[in-house]
């Protein structure tokens, strides 16, 4: 593999996109490039603010600049971009913003709930009108197996949440759910718990996690707090306005048009039966990293709100503690990606460093992709500074894959 000297100068993403003579651009766009190794800061700190539409919380997600970097260089408007581990939908949203058709898959059904509405966002006046039509005081039956929500919510807030949950479930059951309902579901799911008055709950863990009712009681006792009354509709409307603030009406209309042809699936990345052969121009993805994060445990409350069996979802999801088992799963995923990728198409496979930096997963993924039929075009290592999110997780800088993006770029010859 050809090794390039690490470059110390910062790389300006948008300036480079406009400068066709930039060496890195030429390397990535050249279909003959093979085995390059590039180590630098691929986007500067001022560029880490993505479009407001991305701002929903989800554990272990990459920044939108990562898919932007590859989508802008390796695809044309109208081509299809895919993520088989879609998560909160960062790749799909960024692709839609750039005028690409999208395909998204994830084993967690919450992924589509959080992604599909933002691919076809409604107007703020439509959201306001729908919220005013929902009866947030309607009675909603409490099932015997429902969780105890009292440690999180004021009784009147809990009533509103249960009424909204019932309304959305009925709309879904009767087939009358539309894009505005799906948007309200997405925002409400994102606002269930957090650590500011912008959430429905009392102060609790960051919004990409959900603690147990028992643990929340302990938090309340320790902090001397009790759940305060929140206006559910007002919070949904305010968050909606924030999400839509960076989106022009022209952009919104283009995204809505693209969304008609969007592909969503829920299942394992090792079996992408819903994705046709040779249909994908570019995949940008990041799989679960060994034993770094337990995805399913954080989502029990979100699953309850959306009438999803969290235990059943958790049993299907794998968080491999064995490198050999993880490698087998990634090998099967890469074989499927080879099948669905068009000739000359690319896969940007983002991994990191785990177990204190002792395991560099790009060194594992590269030969697996080659065995699946791909050629390694480049390995890009994006060096980032310490992040607030990593600090919340208790993860030190450049450890456990959260600060150093290691991207293996494959091409299907």
Are residues 154 and 21 located together in one domain of the fold?
A: no
**Would you say residue 362 lies in a domain?**
yes
Q: How far apart are CA 131 and CA 47, in angstroms?
A: 34
Count of CB atoms within 10 A of residue 1's CB?
10
Boundary of a domain, candidates 242, 268, 285: 242
> How many residues make up the chain in this entry?
413
Are residues 260 and 404 located together in one domain of the fold?
A: yes
Q: Region of 332 please: left (phi>0), alpha (psi -120 to 50) or beta.
A: alpha
Are residues 254 and 393 located together in one domain of the fold?
A: yes
Number of domains the chain is built from: 2
Measured in degrees and rounded to the nearest 5, phi and psi for residue 341 equal: -80, 135
Q: How far apart are CA 340 and CA 205, in angstroms?
A: 39
Q: Nearest 5 degrees, angle CA 397-CA 400-CA 404?
A: 60
Q: Region of 351 please: left (phi>0), alpha (psi -120 to 50) or beta.
A: beta
Are residues 270 and 364 located together in one domain of the fold?
A: yes
**So what's the pLDDT on residue 290?**
64
DSSP, res 121: P
Are residues 231 and 270 located together in one domain of the fold?
A: no
**Would you say residue 4 lies in a domain?**
no
CA 361 to chain centre: 20
Map residue 104 onto helix, strand or coil: strand
**Would you say residue 7 lies in a domain?**
no
Q: How far apart are CA 367 and CA 373, in angstroms?
A: 10
Q: How far apart are CA 140 and CA 121, in angstroms?
A: 28
Which residue stretches of 44-174 are H helix?
A: 65-74, 90-97, 110-119, 124-133, 155-173
**So what's the pLDDT on residue 13?**
38
Boundary of a domain, candidates 227, 242, 257: 242
What SS3 string covers 3-55? CCCCCCCCCCHHHHHHCCCCHHHHHHHCCCCCCEEEEECCCCHHHCCCCHHHC
Tokens at 293, concatenated: 């994060």
Are residues 155 and 207 located together in one domain of the fold?
A: yes
- Work out the end-to-end distance of the chain between its first and last CA atoms, rounded to an integer number of angstroms: 17
Predicted structure pTM score: 0.87
For tokens 């029990």, what's the residue? Answer: 300
Are residues 266 and 361 located together in one domain of the fold?
A: yes
Which residues is 376 bridged to in the sheet?
410
Are residues 236 and 140 located together in one domain of the fold?
A: yes
**So what's the pLDDT on residue 3?**
35
**So what's the pLDDT on residue 203?**
96
Give the domain CATH number at 378: 3.40.50.150
**Would you say residue 302 lies in a domain?**
no
Where in the sequence is the domain holding 186, given as residue range(s)?
124-242
Count of CB atoms within 10 A of residue 93's CB?
26
Q: Nearest 5 degrees, angle CA 144-CA 150-CA 155?
A: 100
Tens digits of pLDDT across the chain (413 residues) = 333 333 333 333 333 343 434 778 888 999 999 999 988 887 655 544 689 999 998 776 788 999 999 999 999 999 999 999 999 999 999 999 999 999 999 999 999 999 999 999 999 999 999 999 999 999 887 888 889 999 999 999 999 999 999 999 999 999 999 999 999 999 999 999 999 999 999 999 887 778 999 999 999 999 999 999 999 999 999 999 999 999 999 999 999 999 999 999 999 999 999 999 999 999 999 998 765 456 557 789 999 999 998 888 877 776 667 889 899 999 999 999 999 999 999 999 999 776 666 778 999 999 999 999 999 999 998 875 544 433 333 334 444 434 568 899 999 99
**Would you say residue 307 lies in a domain?**
no
The closest of 115, 50, 389, 252 to 104, measured between CA atoms, is 115
Q: How far apart are CA 266 and CA 211, in angstroms?
A: 25
Are residues 229 and 318 located together in one domain of the fold?
A: no
């Amino acid at each position: 593999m050809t090794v390039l000297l690490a470059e110390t100068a910062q790389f300006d993403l948008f300036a480079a996109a406009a400068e066709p003579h930039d060496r890195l651009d030429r390397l990535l766009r050249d279909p003959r490039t093979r085995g390059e190794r590039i180590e630098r800061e691929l986007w500067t700190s001022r560029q880490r603010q993505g479009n407001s539409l991305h701002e929903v919380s989800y554990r272990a997600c990459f920044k939108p600049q990562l898919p932007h970097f590859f989508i802008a260089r390796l695809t044309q408007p109208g081509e299809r971009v895919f993520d088989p581990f879609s998560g909160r939908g960062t790749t799909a949203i960024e692709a839609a913003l750039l005028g690409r058709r999208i395909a998204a898959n994830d084993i967690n059904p919450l992924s589509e709930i959080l992604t599909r509405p933002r691919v076809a966002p409604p107007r703020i006046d439509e959201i306001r009108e729908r919220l005013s039509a929902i009866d947030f005081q309607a009675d909603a039956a409490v099932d015997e197996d429902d969780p105890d929500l009292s440690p999180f919510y004021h009784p009147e807030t809990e009533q509103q949440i249960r009424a909204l949950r019932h309304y959305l479930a009925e709309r879904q059951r009767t087939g009358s759910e539309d894009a505005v309902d799906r948007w309200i579901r997405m925002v409400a799911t994102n606002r269930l718990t957090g650590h500011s008055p912008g959430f429905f709950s009392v102060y609790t863990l960051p919004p990409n996690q959900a603690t147990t009712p028992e643990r929340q009681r302990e938090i309340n006792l320790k902090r001397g707090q009790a759940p305060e009354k929140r206006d559910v509709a007002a919070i949904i409307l305010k968050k909606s306005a924030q999400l839509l603030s960076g989106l022009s009406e022209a952009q919104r209309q283009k995204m809505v048009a693209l969304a008609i042809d969007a592909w969503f699936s829920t299942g394992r990345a090792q079996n992408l039966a819903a994705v046709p052969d040779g249909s994908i121009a570019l995949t940008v993805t990041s799989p679960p990293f060994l034993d770094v994060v337990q995805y399913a445990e954080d989502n029990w409350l979100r699953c309850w709100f959306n009438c999803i069996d969290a235990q059943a979802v958790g049993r299907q999801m794998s968080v491999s503690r064995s490198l050999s088992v993880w490698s087998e799963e990634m090998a099967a995923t890469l074989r499927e990606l080879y099948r669905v990728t068009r000739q000359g198409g690319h896969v940007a496979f983002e991994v990191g460093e785990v177990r204190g930096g002792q395991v560099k997963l790009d060194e594992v993924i590269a030969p697996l992709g080659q065995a699946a039929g791909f050629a390694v075009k480049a390995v890009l290592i994006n060096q980032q500074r310490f992040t607030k999110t990593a600090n919340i997780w208790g993860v030190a800088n450049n450890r456990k894959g959260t600060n150093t993006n290691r991207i293996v770029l494959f091409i299907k010859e």
